[in-house]
Amino acid sequence: MASDRGVQFLLSPGPTPIPDRILRAMHRQSVDFSGPDFIALCDEVFRDVKEIFRTKGVVHLYTANGHGAWEAALTNVLSPGDAVLIPEVGVFSEAWRSMAEALGLKCETVPNDWRHAIDPNQLEEKLRADTDRKIKAVLFVHVDTATSLKSDVPAARAAIDAAGHPALFCVDTIASLGTTHFPMDDWGVDITVAASQKGLMMPPGLAMVAANDKAMRIGKETTMPRRYWDWQERTAGEHYQRFCGTAPEHHIFGLREALNMIAEETLDGVVARHARLARTVRAAVGRWCEGGALQFNAVDPDQRADSVTSILMPEGMDAEAVRATGREMNLHIGSGIGPFRGRAFRIGHMGDINEPMILGSLAAIETVLRRHGIPLGNGAMDAAIAELSAANNDATLADRSIKAAE
């Protein structure tokens, strides 16, 4: 039976812990969504959310989850029968492919073993081979939460350019926006999809799609059936049309507060904090792996995400049993999904998290693993503390921003 004492330690890949400030911002009465006050608030949010994407393009907000953001991107810039290229990197690249197929698109993939990031050289080869330019878009997952692999967005952009290919570059940042450096415009991304429940620290239910001028222009000519997702309708000028109906008022209230919190820490500071805490998690996991039973799913250290870490269990050990034991002490970590079900667990380290939350959770996870008799290397907590101590001796952007806010 799960303990109901103390604080819940939620290190899930999403939803992530929601700050009290955001909960309080959302805990209010409904308002007239056609009134001047709410319209002014929406104007601010639509303007300020661009900074999170670091784009001058248009950001569209939908009452949906990340899968809705995928569909919004596909239906606006593609026509039935168009071809798309999906470099495999894990469960979510495959899910995006399945959605594209369901919409009548022709899908070609760049195969991958799901333990390494997307290879830009293979991407370039595929695009060079498309001499008829049938491929209209590349669907690229920046961080796959199932595999915890982070792929190189600038390298992929360079590969597309080296192939001289006009395909739209569409990037899924659902698990990286607000956790990992991602300057959309500087990196030449045409479309970015995101959602509210991970780095943005909000409840699920708000999907986001950022589109540059090229994508918006192409969207005027494509013929995929769409109404709710339609960018042209949503930017026609009428406030009501921004949301294709009733506005998700309370999500807008929450997003306003999330944007305030990020601005106070600075986006660079948020990214630095995630990098610092990710290094801490990896330091501990690395020691555990020395016991010979556990493995990082991401083989190359440079390809490990700063938002989530996927850990493979030894043959014959059930990762779900480990998670169940964790729940008994109010520790909630992520499950393996897809082919990783029962074979892996995931530590989410994104959103509204800090050093004590990470250290406490790592200690609890080690306790659970030892209860299950899993061989572990020693010194994980010492390694985690040493990593944090070294990081805190540096004058990081995050440290400076916090002191400035005080």
For 193-228, write each residue's pLDDT tens digit.
999 999 999 999 999 999 999 999 999 999 999 999
Band of residue 393 on the pLDDT scale cut at 50, 70, 90? low
> How many angstroms separate the CA atoms of 91 and 110, rounded?
14
| The residue to which tokens 């992929």 are assigned | 156
Give the rounded percent of residues in the chain with a pLDDT score beyond 90. 92
pLDDT of residue 1: 54
Model confidence pLDDT, tens digit, residues 350-361: 999 999 999 999
**Total-model pTM:** 0.94
pLDDT of residue 102: 98
Band of residue 133 on the pLDDT scale cut at 50, 70, 90? very high
Model confidence pLDDT, tens digit, residues 43-54: 999 999 999 999
Band of residue 400 on the pLDDT scale cut at 50, 70, 90? very low
pLDDT of residue 406: 36
Model confidence pLDDT, tens digit, residues 3-38: 677 889 999 999 999 999 999 999 999 999 999 999
- Phi and psi for 13 in degrees, rounded to 5? -70, 5
Using the predicted structure, report yes or no on whether residue 398 has a pLDDT greater than 80.
no
pLDDT of residue 402: 35
> How many angstroms separate the CA atoms of 229 and 67, rounded?
12
Average pLDDT, rounded, for the chain? 95
pLDDT of residue 397: 42
Of residues 177, 94, 187, the one with CA closest to residue 143: 177
pLDDT mean over 161-177: 98
- Residues whose CB falls within 8 Å of the CB of residue 159, separated by 6 or more in sequence, listed in order: 120, 121, 123, 124, 127
- Are 85 and 137 contacting, i.e. CB atoms less than 8 angstroms apart? yes
Helices (H) and strands (E) in the chain, counts: 14, 14
pLDDT of residue 386: 96
Measuring CA to CA, how many Å separate 282 from each of 131, 286, 305, 359, 362? Answer: 43, 6, 10, 12, 10
Using the predicted structure, report yes or no on whether residue 331 has a pLDDT greater than 70.
yes
pLDDT mean over 94-109: 98
> How many angstroms separate the CA atoms of 36 and 34, rounded?
7
pLDDT mean over 240-263: 96
pLDDT of residue 7: 86
pLDDT mean over 294-301: 98
pLDDT mean over 82-88: 98
